[in-house]
A and B are shown apart, each in its own frame.
Chain A
């Protein structure tokens, strides 16, 4: 029964349309993207546990840290096990996280919520996040940025769906939101489990020798960043390119997450006329920009190149932060425009990075390398809010108020983005000594092929004549 989840059972048959793959990835990413809407639960949880915001905020922090760790340590397993098994595991962890979290809420044991939503759910986040990425890159070698942008867009868009849905569930199950957390958690667990398992059922990997008809890999010049070889995850972290890209992602996420996390109070501090409902609308607009940036900018990177698009994210991003610090109070429309563009670059940075990795390190273990790179997200998830919140507290203690609370942190973000810009400029093609010998890559693929034939035959009990037929590349 469980052999259904094996990688060998997911190889696409002849005639399978590659446009049937993105909804599988979107189903997973839209589900786990719920984590960005966790703030909806904050006040009900504070009321329910009779505690302060900080212990409740830890739930989200644990989930994000676990996302980075599980992506880093589970990346290689995801590559080996294939997307279906990984998506099914992610579905199980994500739904179990909600169920254990609900148990914690029902028994008023906050540590169970940490364990459930934070640890178990966080593992589901990490595995779910990376599971469709390398599969999509293999299906769309001609448009890797667009393909990963489409999937990762779901992670940004998850909050757009989860936020109103959660609010409606909380008000439907009980008169007071704090009394409706348990059934809401359980309902979300069921919805997301079904959606993610539908994605797992649908996903297919292309055969090793498959490529879009009529497509030939681009010719590479010596200065091109696009690698002709493949690098393993173990070797990738020994290259300066990996750590430069780690720095780029860290800087881009630190700058974006600082605004995202503090968006509602920030706009109210900048403009005293903005009420709570309008601030919530602002958060929604930022989520939309975050989501659209993932698809639009990542697709654009297929045309203009990865290095250039990151120069735009980081260079224009730094300029916009400077403008926010100096003239952010001029008008609400200008403030929304600047922060919206910054958030679209934040999302674009996430979505473009798998294609950047594919260019630098090849497709052999791109999922595992991506997983390791996501530790930059975990680090930035701590650094960004720490800079913005910490400096706002210090400024307040010094007698500042309104927009003045953020001026220093906005200037620091300019510096952070300049550091990222320089790191991106320093990225050069990976030295060939890190490339796996072609012979070893072929041997590895042949071994996988052999394993496929053996396990596939065993799974079906009776081999069909077409099972070993290979089409022309």
Chain B
């Protein structure tokens, strides 16, 4: 099953540049989101250990 969209209504030169920019931003956002969640998870695990270790 393909994950690609199949509509070409914004495939002009400006659209293609914009699409590349958006795709790059999306990939950076995946990294930022993953780092953010890792930061949150790390801090949660750190405090949660108090619960069982006293």
Chain A residues engaging chain B, CB cutoff 8 angstroms: 9, 11-21, 23-24, 26-27, 30, 142, 154, 157, 160-161, 163-165, 195, 198-199, 201-202, 204, 206-207, 209-210, 212-215, 273-275, 277-278, 280-282, 284-285, 287-288, 332-333, 336, 452, 456, 460, 462, 464, 466-472
Q: Choose one: B10, B23, B27; the contact of A467 (CB below 8 Å).
A: B10
Q: Choose one: B7, B30, B44; the contact of A160 (CB below 8 Å).
A: B44
B39 smallest CB distance to A (angstroms): 6
Q: Is the beta-carbon distance between A16 and B23 smaller than 8 angstroms? A: yes
The CA-CA distance from A195 to B2 in the complex, in Å, is 29
Q: Is the beta-carbon distance between B48 and A213 smaller than 8 angstroms? A: no
Q: Choose one: B5, B15, B22, B39; the contact of A202 (CB below 8 Å).
A: B22
Chain B 11-54, CB-CB to A under 8 Å as 1, else 0, gives 11111100101110111111011001101110110011111101
Known contacts being A14-B11, A466-B11, is A160 close to B3, with CB within 8 Å?
Answer: no
The CA-CA distance from A382 to B7 in the complex, in Å, is 45
A-B contact count (CB 8 A): 171
Known contacts being A157-B37, A160-B40, A202-B22, is A471 close to B29, with CB within 8 Å?
Answer: no
How many chain B residues sit at the interface, stated as a range, is 35 or more
Q: Which of A23, A207, A274, A288 has the most CB of B within 10 A?
A: A23
List the B side residues contacting A204 at CB < 8 Å: 5, 22
Q: Is the beta-carbon distance between B9 and A456 smaller than 8 angstroms? A: yes
Q: Is the beta-carbon distance between B12 and A467 smaller than 8 angstroms? A: yes
Q: Is the beta-carbon distance between A23 and B26 smaller than 8 angstroms? A: yes
B37 smallest CB distance to A (angstroms): 6
- Interface of chain B: mostly helix, strand, loop or mixed: helix
Known contacts being A20-B23, A160-B37, A469-B8, is A284 close to B1, with CB within 8 Å?
Answer: no
Q: Choose one: B11, B33, B37, B41; the contact of A13 (CB below 8 Å).
A: B11
List the B side residues contacting A26 at CB < 8 Å: 29, 33
A-B pairs, top 9 by smallest CB distance, nearest first, are A160-B40, A207-B7, A464-B12, A213-B2, A20-B26, A23-B29, A284-B44, A164-B43, A14-B8
Known contacts being A142-B1, A285-B44, is A210 close to B51, with CB within 8 Å?
Answer: no
